[in-house]
Amino acid sequence: MLGGAYAVDRALSTGAMGAVYAAHHVHTGERVAVKRLLDPGNEDRFEIETRLLGQLAHPRIPRIVDSFTQGADHYLVMSMVDGTDLRDTLVARGDPGLPVDEAIGWLTEVCEALSYVHAQRIVHRDVKPSNVIVSDAGAVLVDFGIAREFSGIDEGTMLIGTPGFMAPEVISGSVVTPRSDVYGAAATLWMLLTGRPPSYGVPERLAEHAPDAPAELEHVLLAALHADPMDRTPTVEAFAAALGVPLTTGLGEPLVHSVAAPGTPRTLLEAVVRAAAGVFDAAAASIALTDARTGELEYVASWGAGAKEIVGRRLAPHEGIAGAVAASGLGEAVPACRADPRFADRVAQGTGYVPITMLVVPLRRASEVVGVLSVLDRRDGRPYLPPDVDRAAAFGDLAVMAADAGGAPTAAP
């Protein structure tokens, strides 16, 4: 029994980073895949990571339904995807590769999944044939257990991945970006066509291994496999377009939500919280504006974990850490929210999101505080500290300036 709720039916795979089991919920009977992660990070990091991954909703990625810690190991519980992975498909039917149109078709659906997660500021890092399951609904990209936000170097897991499909910058420990997944997608297509992964740094001729492939396909693949990420095809959308197969977009649920604020475009509010999450490596970010009539703070835009639930909620004057910052006009870094007596437990329990660490700064117009910007839970598990406050305050000032440049008031009337 795992997590007190999941009975293991059989092992699906094992590896250096853990194992995946087919299991079922003992009460509901739901069939799931349980992944055991030997994560080098701490429990805070695991909680933050899985909470954000659990917000992803797209038909080409599995749904994360639960997470828990048991002993020294961390577990992710995902919806079961029935089908055969592309590695096994290639072994069974490759001669040595698959037909060109079929391989590009599967890869296009992989790119649809990557396009969605990249828009949510997440990079997969380990795109390869064995992580693509061909189901009745098409290709599904699995194994997001080592995904990381792409704002910088992830020292704890920088070498996680599969040789032959890992981009060179991942191997060298450089910054990981969506271009790293472009490499993985191109390496996957190369193997589907040739029966073998591409060689690092050694120019190859696609025609030698896949004589039926069009000549122009070699140039498309080599551009996406460039060793220098700056010279590589920049996005999965551009890669798919070069393959001649525009992606189907708009299928997934975005992680940003907002409500109408008088005079302030929702697109601007959403852009600010999305950017704040990226700049401060956060699992969530939100803007709350002061209601001039009641003094309450209303959350008008949020990105990330708990975004849908927090938008539209209100804090009474002085309530919670955000209310205290709005009242004092002084930004705060709170390393341990749950131990802070000002923490607005009512709101957190209502949204289902209880943050670990928080950075909150006032939004000012001249001397007037018109709202607050909050960023929650650093993705690396470390706390926000006082030196972060000045950077966040400068970011908040830019956000207000952007609103004013558009002639938009930042406070609710």
164-190 tens-digit pLDDT: 788 888 888 788 899 999 999 999 999
Residue 153 sits in a domain whose CATH number is 1.10.510.10
- What's the DSSP call for residue 371? E
In the structure, what pLDDT confidence band is assigned to residue 149 with cuts at 50, 70 and 90? very low
Neighbour tally for 23: CB within 10 Å: 24
28-66 burial, b at 16+ Cβ within 10 Å, e below that, comes to eeeebbbbbbebebeebbbbbbbbbbbbbebbbbbebeb
Here the CATH number for the domain that contains residue 70 is 3.30.200.20
pLDDT tier, 386 (very low <50, low <70, confident <90, very high otherwise): very high
Question: Can you give the pLDDT at residue 402?
Answer: 82
Task: Share the mean pLDDT of the chain.
Answer: 86
Question: Distance of CA 338 to CAs 217, 247, 306, 347, 358, Å?
Answer: 54, 43, 16, 13, 10
Asked whether residue 345 carries a pLDDT value surpassing 90, the answer given is no
Is residue 17 located within the same domain as residue 143?
no
Q: Would 29 be classed as within a structural domain?
A: yes
Residue 250 inside a domain? The answer is no
Cite the beta strand spans of 91-137 per DSSP E.
Answer: 122-123, 132-135
Local confidence band at 32 (pLDDT 50, 70, 90 cut-offs): very high
Above 90 in pLDDT, residue 126? no
Residue 308 pLDDT > 70: yes
pLDDT of residue 168: 87
So what's the pLDDT on residue 234? 96
Residue-range definition of the domain harbouring residue 198: 84-243
pTM of the model: 0.82
- What pLDDT does 150 receive? 44
Is 300 within the bounds of a domain?
A: yes
11 and 142 part of one domain: no
- Does residue 4 have a pLDDT over 70? yes
The domain boundary, picked from 184, 218, 243, lies at 243
Residues 126 and 63 both lie in one domain = no
Residues 53 and 101 in one domain: no
The tens digit of pLDDT for each residue in 34-72 reads 988 765 556 777 778 788 888 889 999 998 888 888 887
The verdict on residue 410 lying in a domain is no
pLDDT, tens digit, for every residue of 240-289?
Answer: 999 998 888 778 888 999 998 777 788 899 999 999 998 998 999 999 99
Asked if residue 73 is part of any domain, the answer here is: yes
The per-residue pLDDT for 288 is 95
21 and 139 together in one domain: no
Q: Closest by alpha carbon to 322, among 282, 289, 367?
A: 289
Tokens of 179: 């271009």
210-214, 263-267, 308-312, 360-364 — which one is most confidently predicted on average?
360-364
The fraction of the chain above a pLDDT of 90, given in percent, is 54
pLDDT band at 154 (very low <50, low <70, confident <90, very high): very low
Catalytic residues: 126
Residues 89 and 45 in one domain: no
Residues 57 and 102 in one domain: no
User: Is residue 141 scored above 50 in pLDDT?
Assistant: yes
Mean pLDDT, range 147-175, rounded to an integer: 60
Task: For residues 117 and 156, give the distance between their C-alpha atoms in angstroms, rounded to a whole number.
Answer: 21
Q: What number is the average pLDDT over the span 3-11?
A: 93
Shared domain check, 232 and 342:
no
> How many whole angstroms separate alpha carbon 245 and alpha carbon 49?
32
Shared domain check, 105 and 222: yes
pLDDT above 80 (res 351) = no
Using DSSP's 3-state secondary structure scheme, residue 235 falls into: coil
Rounded to the nearest 10°, the torsion over CA 149, 155, 156, 161 is: 70
Higher-confidence residue: 43 or 152? 43
Per-residue model confidence (pLDDT) at position 92: 95
- Looking at the fold, whether 91 and 70 belong to one and the same domain comes out as no
Residues 47 and 92 in one domain: no
Question: Would you state the pLDDT for residue 156?
Answer: 38
- Which is more confident, 238 or 340? 238
Q: Is residue 248 part of a domain?
A: no
Comparing 299 with 404, which gets the higher pLDDT?
299
Q: Is 195 helix (H, G, I), strand (E, B) or coil?
A: coil
pLDDT at 364 over 80: yes
Give percent above pLDDT 70 in the chain: 88
Which 3 state secondary structure label does DSSP give 119? helix
Could you give the C-alpha distances from 318 to 323, 326, 329, 385, in angstroms and in order?
A: 4, 7, 11, 22
Domain boundary among 30, 52, 79: 79
Are 103 and 234 in the same domain? yes
Do the Cβ atoms of 97 and 103 come closer than 8 Å? yes
pLDDT for 162 = 60
CATH assignment of the domain containing 323:
3.30.450.40
The tally of domains found in the chain comes to: 3
At residue 357, the pLDDT reads: 94
* Closest to 287 (Cα-Cα) out of 386, 391, 369: 369
Q: Longest Cα pair distance anywhere in the chain, in angstroms?
A: 73
**C-alpha torsion sign, points 101, 102, 105, 106:** negative
Instruction: Specify the pLDDT at position 44.
Output: 78
Query: Is 389 part of a structural domain of the chain?
Result: yes
Q: Report yes or no on 412 lying in a domain.
A: no
Q: What CA–CA distance (Å, rounded) separates 380 from 155?
A: 9
Of the three residues 50, 79, 108, the one that is the final residue of a domain is: 79
